[in-house]
Amino acid sequence: MTKFADLNLSAATLKSIKRMGFEEATPIQASTIPVSLEGKDIIGQAQTGTGKTTAFGIPMIEKIDVKNPAVQGLIIAPTRELAIQVSEELYRISADKRARVLSVYGGQDIQRQIRAMKKNPHIIVGTPGRLLDHIKRKTLNLTNVHTLVLDEADEMLNMGFIDDIESILETVPPTRQTLLFSATMPDPIRRIAERFMTEPEVIKVKSKEVTVSNIEQFFTKVTEKEKFDVLSRLIDVQSPELAIVFGRTKRRVDELSRALSIRGYLAEGIHGDLSQARRMTVLKKFKEGRIDVLVATDVAARGLDISGVTHVYNFDIPQDPESYVHRIGRTGRAGKKGMSITFVTPREMGYLKVVEQTTKKKMTALKPPSHNEALEGQQRLALEKLTEATKESDLKDYYALAEEFLANHESIQAVAAAIRVLTKEPDTTPVDITEERPLPSRGGGRGNSRGGGYKGGSRSGKGGSGSNRSGGYNRGGGSSRGGDRNRSGGSRPQSSSKRKSYNS
Ligand SMILES: Nc1ncnc2c1ncn2[C@@H]1O[C@H](COP(=O)(O)OP(=O)(O)OP(=O)(O)O)[C@@H](O)[C@H]1O
Ligand SMILES: [Mg+2]
**Residue 274 backbone phi and psi in degrees, to 5:** -80, 155
Ligand 1: which residue has its CA nearest to atom 4? 22
* Alpha carbon of 73 to ligand 2 centroid (Å): 17
Checking if the pLDDT of 359 tops 90, the result is yes
In ligand 1, the atom with minimum distance to the C-alpha of 329 is: 26
Top mutation candidate among 50, 89, 151 for ligand 1, by most atoms within 8 Å of CB: 50
Residue 57's nearest CA partner among 291, 290, 311, 303 is 303
Burial category of 235 from C-beta neighbours within 10 Å (exposed 0-12, middle 13-18, buried 19 and up) = buried
* Alpha carbon of 49 to ligand 2 centroid (Å): 7
Topology of the domain covering 4-207: Rossmann fold (3.40.50)
Residue 215's nearest CA partner among 305, 101, 333 is 333
Ligand 1: which residue has its CA nearest to atom 25? 48
Q: Confidence class of residue 158 from pLDDT cuts 50, 70 and 90?
A: confident
Burial category of 148 from C-beta neighbours within 10 Å (exposed 0-12, middle 13-18, buried 19 and up) = buried
**H or E, element range at 403:** helix 396-408
Please give the pLDDT value at position 443.
Answer: 52
Residue 240's nearest CA partner among 255, 260, 225 is 260
CA-based diameter of the chain, in Å? 84
pLDDT digits (tens, 9 = 90+) for 429-454: 999 999 988 888 765 444 333 433 34
Q: Whole-angstrom Cα distance, residue 430 to residue 263?
A: 9
* Alpha carbon of 57 to ligand 1 centroid (Å): 11
Q: State the distance between the two ends of the chain, measured CA to CA, in whole angstroms.
A: 38
Please give the pLDDT value at position 439.
Answer: 87
Q: Does this complex have an ipTM over 0.90?
A: yes
In ligand 1, the atom with minimum distance to the C-alpha of 4 is: 1
* Alpha carbon of 51 to ligand 1 centroid (Å): 3
In ligand 1, the atom with minimum distance to the C-alpha of 152 is: 27
Checking if the pLDDT of 209 tops 90, the result is no
* Alpha carbon of 343 to ligand 2 centroid (Å): 25
Please give the pLDDT value at position 26.
Answer: 97
In ligand 1, the atom with minimum distance to the C-alpha of 330 is: 26
* Alpha carbon of 53 to ligand 2 centroid (Å): 5
User: Letter for the amino acid at 292?
Assistant: D
Nearest bound ligand to the CA of residue 151:
2
Please give the pLDDT value at position 152.
Answer: 97
Please give the pLDDT value at position 393.
Answer: 78
* Alpha carbon of 327 to ligand 1 centroid (Å): 15
State the average pLDDT over residues 364-386. Answer: 95
3-class SS of residue 459: coil
Rg of the chain over Cα atoms, rounded to whole angstroms, equals: 24
Top mutation candidate among 75, 204, 305 for ligand 1, by most atoms within 8 Å of CB: 305
pLDDT digits (tens, 9 = 90+) for 283-341: 999 999 999 999 999 999 999 999 999 999 999 999 899 999 999 999 999 999 999 99
* Alpha carbon of 153 to ligand 1 centroid (Å): 17
CATH architecture of 210-371: 3-Layer(aba) Sandwich (3.40)
Cα angle 353, 357, 359 (rounded to 5 degrees) comes to 115
In ligand 1, the atom with minimum distance to the C-alpha of 17 is: 1
Question: Interhelix angle for 52-63 vs 11-19, to 10°?
Answer: 150
Give the residue range(s) of CATH 3.40.50.300 domains in the chain.
Answer: 4-207, 210-371
Residue 248's nearest CA partner among 312, 313, 296 is 296
In ligand 1, the atom with minimum distance to the C-alpha of 25 is: 1
Task: Find the length of the chain.
Answer: 504
Please give the pLDDT value at position 161.
Answer: 82
Ligand 1: which residue has its CA nearest to atom 27? 303
pLDDT digits (tens, 9 = 90+) for 237-274: 999 999 999 999 999 999 999 999 999 999 999 999 99
* Alpha carbon of 86 to ligand 2 centroid (Å): 8
Please give the pLDDT value at position 454.
Answer: 41
* Alpha carbon of 102 to ligand 2 centroid (Å): 18
Top mutation candidate among 22, 182, 306 for ligand 1, by most atoms within 8 Å of CB: 22
| 503: number of Cβ within 10 Å | 28
- Distances 228 to 103, 110, 247, 260, 354 between C-alpha atoms, Å: 38, 41, 12, 9, 24
State the average pLDDT over residues 111-137. Answer: 97
Top mutation candidate among 333, 336, 340, 359 for ligand 1, by most atoms within 8 Å of CB: 333
Burial category of 174 from C-beta neighbours within 10 Å (exposed 0-12, middle 13-18, buried 19 and up) = exposed
Residue 472's nearest CA partner among 485, 463, 488 is 485
Q: Is the Cβ–Cβ distance between 60 and 177 less than 8 Å?
A: no
* Alpha carbon of 500 to ligand 2 centroid (Å): 20
How would you classify residue 330: left for phi > 0, otherwise alpha for psi between -120 and 50, otherwise beta?
Answer: alpha
Q: Confidence class of residue 282 from pLDDT cuts 50, 70 and 90?
A: very high
Please give the pLDDT value at position 160.
Answer: 73
Residue 90's nearest CA partner among 16, 18, 146 is 16
In ligand 1, the atom with minimum distance to the C-alpha of 24 is: 1
Q: Which residues line ligand 1 (CB under 6 A)?
A: 22, 24-26, 29, 46, 48-54, 183, 303, 305, 329, 333-334
- Distances 287 to 66, 106, 281, 283, 307 between C-alpha atoms, Å: 32, 22, 10, 6, 7
Nearby residues for ligand 2 (ion, Cβ within 5 Å): 52, 303
Q: Whole-angstrom Cα distance, residue 188 to residue 24?
A: 34
Q: Whole-angstrom Cα distance, residue 67 to residue 327?
A: 40
- Distances 447 to 130, 208, 450, 456, 494 between C-alpha atoms, Å: 35, 21, 9, 18, 14
Ligand 1: which residue has its CA nearest to atom 9? 51
Q: Is the Cβ–Cβ distance between 493 and 451 less than 8 Å?
A: yes
Strand pairing report for 2-3 and 309-314: unpaired
Please give the pLDDT value at position 337.
Answer: 97
Nearest bound ligand to the CA of residue 50:
1
3-class SS of residue 201: strand
